Structure 1
Amino acid sequence: MALSQIMCLDDSYINLCTNESKPDFFYSEDQRLALETLINDGQERFEEYVKTNSIRPFLSELELVQLNRSVELYTCNGDSDAAELSLRYWPERSDYSLPDLDIGWPTSTSRTHIKEIIRKMIVQAQKVIAIVMDLFTDLDIFKDLLDVSFKHKVAVYIMLESAGVPHFLKMCEKAKLRVRSIRGIEFFTHTSKKVCGSQSQKFMFVDGDKAVSGSYSFTWTASKLDRNIITVLSGQAMDAFDKLFKDMYVMSNAVNLHKINLDTEPKPEPAFQTAPVLLPSATVALKLINPKYALVCSNHTPSKKDTAKIESFKQMKACQRFH
């Protein structure tokens, strides 16, 4: 159970406002309801629900197919309200009692979610991020990479298994990244034929001094449904990841992101604001009051007394110039 889930069970816990842009973002009620729609009503209704509720598409085409194929009918033995199980809060049904490890076992009540670890490593990167992955369709991680690439000028290299490239390209928008594809070991025959394995290695190499490796893929289903384990490494082991990535980079093929059909983003309409009324300064106010400047103000009609003063002032100036 993730730490963010454990904290939500505490009655005294104040749930801080978070969103998809933050690494500790884990649960989305919108996504849960969309997934319920997919499982119960199919992909077409799911897409309608996502569009109607302005939910960012979080499942790739591959994940949609896999989820539809894996749907099973759940029956709860002896439970009369089994149909309402999906509406119940998960700890009531999903918690299991711990096994009786009578000779001792360390107490651990929470853990940090793998995706949170990945995202924090990305947002904290300062120099370079090198990724080797089989599937990459997670929009949250992709946006994190775009942010560090554009805003913090971190170099980002992504190497994907060849079969996963089309799914990645469907997710892509405008990006300044280096993306390449790679396959497994090739076996050639004397008859000019070959077979090729798949790229099973998955790791992320950050700033030359940190790496995370394991079974975790950068997908929504890996984050929410699959069981995974990762190892976070530092120290001398980084030399091996450094060399491995460079060797694989030489053997990989470039993926041209410029050939992707990109939809132009709509320009936001300008927000019209009422201009504030500026109060006249003391100097301007003095000029408006003084008869000498009264004719400057178009809305002011001078009185006979003011007109006489102005004519007298003009005559005095004329006499001074004459003498």
Structure 2
Amino acid sequence: MSRSRHVGKIRKRLEEIKNQSVRPTKADFSHHESVRLATDALLDGGTESYLRALNEEGEVDFLSSVEAQYIKKNAREPYYANESHTERETGPRQNDAGSLQSGTYFPISEGSEPALHHTWSTAEKPYLKEKSSATVYFQTEKNSNIRDIIRRCISKTSQVLAIMMDVFTDTEIFCDVLEAANKRGVFVYLLLDQSNIKLFSEMCDKVQIAEDHFKNISVRSVTGEVYCAKSGRKFSGQIQEKFIISDWRYVLSGSYR
């Protein structure tokens, strides 16, 4: 008697959705091992290994062409890899024996928190007990230009300003930040996406802003979640969040770059 072919979780769900006679099932949020195995295969052996893993796991192709290309382009060797590897050796390679073996292995994330310029006690933030409210602005509201709202928020900040952006290249807003830090003594924390930090550096060079102009300003580049395969090869996601925190009191969040 032949062994029945394994069917992946996504493929199984799609087949059940297409079958009108099958009753709805409870949502499954458990770890998806087939997806992990296929992602490891892509990291270790490239597209062919990825497609082969999908076939063995009976799973659908769950990555878009952009996602697959991003993973291959940003794959990094493990920290213990021999630095004398040639470019050919550090490129996509065939899976080693352990890469396509299930072992209930979960991807990891890595990172550290930056030191703060100043520590604010709860006593200095009585407004934490105030009732919160939210205001929503839409792009079609011409009288509420989001760029002007951001600039007004920065100009009103008196203690601390935290800005998280994937891309920061707006020289006028940059001037607002520099003025707040250098003229008003505001502590500023800039968190920028690692893959786009070069664009911020280019802006600084173009407007001739050097390191000694960054008084009270901490600039840190961060990455998204780090996926690590069993082989040790890994890639980092991108930071897409965009928000501003002003004086621990006001928060601006949206899609504006």
Range of TM-score over shorter length: 0.3 to 0.5
- TM value normalised by structure 2: 0.41
Structure of larger gyration radius: 1
Which of the two has greater helix per residue? 1
Highest RCO, 1 vs 2 (Cα 8 Å, sep ≥ 6): 2
